[in-house]
């Protein structure tokens, strides 16, 4: 069964450092998303991406965040200068069509010290 894969599964970084989280969406999907979940809290939308551009973003997704699809298979989330409050589980998701079912990866846990 096709799945969304994410790397790394866990990353520990120092405050102020840049972090790149990587995702390989399901191969024929066209819509890509990042969500995050702070420990013990609900899953929150960050950004959606389609046709090589951001289609929607939340207020969480400030100038420290960026997304990129550098090639035909990867979808990355970059945090330019991490803050303590960026510590969370980051989930990548993809869907095959607008409004279609989202398939989530298993997440990348980011710990900022």
Partner 1 sequence: GESVGLHLPTLSVQEGDNSIINCAYSNSASDYFIWYKQESGKGPQFIIDIRSNMDKRQGQRVTVLLNKTVKHLSLQIAATQPGDSAVYFCAETFQSGYSTLTFGKGTMLLVS
Which residues, in sequence order, are bridge partners of residue 112?
A: 13
Binder of partner 1 out of 19, 25, 29, 31 (CB under 8 A): 31
Which residues, in sequence order, are bridge partners of residue 56?
A: 48
Compare residues 29 and 79 and give the one whose CB is closer to partner 1: 29
Q: Does residue 107 interact with partner 1 by CB under 8 A?
A: yes
Binder of partner 1 out of 7, 55, 73, 74 (CB under 8 A): 55
Which residues, in sequence order, are bridge partners of residue 103?
A: 94
Q: Does residue 69 interact with partner 1 by CB under 8 A?
A: no
CB proximity list for 89: less than 8 A, separation 6 or greater: 36, 37, 38, 39, 107, 108, 109, 110
Instruction: Determine the interface stretch with partner 1 among 12-20, 55-63, 66-74, 80-88 (rule: CB under 8 A).
Output: 55-63
Compare residues 20 and 30 and give the one whose CB is closer to partner 1: 30
Joined together, the tokens standing for residue 5 give 């894969």
Instruction: With beta carbons less than 8 A apart as the criterion, state whether 80 and 18 touch.
Output: yes
Joined together, the tokens standing for residue 8 give 């790394």
Instruction: Determine the interface stretch with partner 1 among 11-19, 29-37, 61-69, 71-79 (rule: CB under 8 A).
Output: 29-37
Q: Does residue 42 interact with partner 1 by CB under 8 A?
A: yes
């Amino acid at each position: 069964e096709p799945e969304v894969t994410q790397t790394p599964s866990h990353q520990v970084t120092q405050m102020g450092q840049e972090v790149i989280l990587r995702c390989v969406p399901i191969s024929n999907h066209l819509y890509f998303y990042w969500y995050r979940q702070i420990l013990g809290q609900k899953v929150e939308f960050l950004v959606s991406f389609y046709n090589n551009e951001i289609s929607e973003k939340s207020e969480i997704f400030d100038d420290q965040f960026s997304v990129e699809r550098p090639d035909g298979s990867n979808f990355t989330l970059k945090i330019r200068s991490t803050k303590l409050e960026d510590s969370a589980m980051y989930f990548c998701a993809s869907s095959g069509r607008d409004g279609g079912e989202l398939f989530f990866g298993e997440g990348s846990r980011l710990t900022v010290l």
